[in-house]
Structure 1
Amino acid sequence: MVDVSQHTLVPEHTLLDDEDVEDVLQEYNVKKTNLPKIVTKDPALPEDAEPGDVIKIVRDSRTTDKAVTYRLVIE
């Protein structure tokens, strides 16, 4: 089977620890549930991601070099 998460077109997905999650939520002044969602079945997710975790996604961007987004893992 092909590991989709290692494909060159899939952006970097990183699981955040609790301290980093709190920093992100404070920086953007949002609740965890206000973050965009990503399902546990998404093949690009790290294997240890569970519902309730927050994922940091870093994509290449034409205008800012790197674009960072955060997603809440759901069932």
Structure 2
Amino acid sequence: MVDVSNHELVPDHSVLDQDAVEDVLEEYNIKKTDLPKIKRTDPALPDDASVGDVIEVTRDSRTADQATVYRLVVS
């Protein structure tokens, strides 16, 4: 089976630790459930991601060089 997470067009996905999650939520003044969702079955997710984790997605951007977005893992 092909590991799509290593494909050049798939942006970096990483699981945030609890301190980083709290920093993000405080910075944007939101709750964890306000974040956009990503399914646990998404092939781009790291193997250690589980439901309830927050994922940091870093991708190339034409206007900002790099764009960072956050997603909440759901079942």
Instruction: Give TM class, smaller chain.
Output: over 0.9
TM-score, normalised via structure 2 length: 0.99
Q: 5 Å matches for 1:14-29?
A: 14-29=14-29
Q: What corresponds to 1:71 in structure 2? A: 71
Unaligned runs of 5+ in 1: none
Q: Which secondary structure state, in structure 1, belongs to the residue aligned with residue 22 of structure 2?
A: helix
What residue in structure 2 maps to residue 7 of structure 1? 7
Q: Secondary structure at the match of 2:73?
A: strand
1:46-65 matches, cutoff 5 A: 46-65=46-65
Q: CA RMSD in A?
A: 0.3
The normalised TM-score by structure 1 is 0.99
Shift of 1:2: 0.5
Do residues 32 (structure 1) and 32 (structure 2) align? yes
Same amino acid, percent of matched pairs: 65
- Consecutive unaligned residues of structure 2, counting only runs of 5 or more, are none
Corresponding residue number in structure 1 for 2:41: 41
Q: Hey, which bits of structure 1, 4+ residues long, moved more than 6 A? A: none
Instruction: Count how many residue pairs are aligned between Structure 1 and Structure 2.
Output: 75
Letter in 2 for 1:64: A
